[in-house]
Amino acid sequence: MTRIGIIRHGRTSWNNAGRAQGNTDIPLDDEGISMAYKLADRLSQENWDAVYSSNLLRAKQTAEIISKKLKDIPVQWDVRLREVGRGQIEGTTESERIKKWGDNWRKLNLGIESTDQVTTRGISLLEEIITQSTATNILIVTHGLFTRHILKILVPNINMDEHIKNTSLTTLLKTSRGWNCEMYNCTKHLEVKEI
């Protein structure tokens, strides 16, 4: 059986400001780095044997912190794990989008990557990992919107009313009948009090 842990990268200044990041290469802010270390501490108490990551800086930084804590499991970088390309809205806030394009900006062709494009690249990578890797407990460090698109395909009945949080962990178990979601959007590591 294969177990996949899907992680959203740590916080960035653009996350904090509510800006659409897409493929713009934004680093973690100080809080994001702290969040990644807390997640890495948590994961070091669990059984993981492979790490895959988006090659965008915010995911790379998160994955590198995790990798070091997991006894330097090498990170395998893959562009298919990048965030949904946001086209012309990258770098903007919701209020800026409404001011520029109006309330119905989502209905405009602003160069945003389609759901089909995102799920095609994401599912192809997952199938490749499952068929080619000897690892059975695999971490994937990626992005919030990308994760939502993939989960809708793998676990169509999952309740995703809650926004996917920075450094959250969602775990999926591959069975003979498909994918089961064991845990969704868990950030219990952020609740740990520092001494």
Q: Could you say which DSSP state residue 164 is in? A: P
- Catalytic: 9? yes
- The whole-angstrom separation of Cα 114 and Cα 135 is 31
- Residue 9 annotated as lining a ligand binding site: yes
- Residue 148 annotated as lining a ligand binding site: no
- Residue 159 annotated as lining a ligand binding site: no
* Catalytic residue (choose from 9, 143, 149, 189): 9
- Residue 14 annotated as lining a ligand binding site: yes
- Catalytic: 143? no
Q: Within its chain, how far is the Cα of 176 from the centroid?
A: 25
* Catalytic residue (choose from 83, 90, 113, 149): 83
- Residue 120 annotated as lining a ligand binding site: no
- Residue 189 annotated as lining a ligand binding site: no
- Report the DSSP pairing between strands 2-8 and 169-175: antiparallel
- The whole-angstrom separation of Cα 67 and Cα 180 is 26
Report CA-CA distances (Å) from 184 to 36, 104, 150, 161: 18, 31, 13, 11
Instruction: Tell me how crowded residue 158 is: count the other CB atoms within 10 A of its CB.
Output: 16
- Residue 114 annotated as lining a ligand binding site: no
Contact present, 73 and 50 (Cβ < 8 Å): yes
Q: Report, as residue numbers or ranges, the catalytic residues.
A: 9, 83
For the annotated binding site for substrate, the residues are: 8-15, 58
For the annotated binding site, the residues are: 8-15, 58
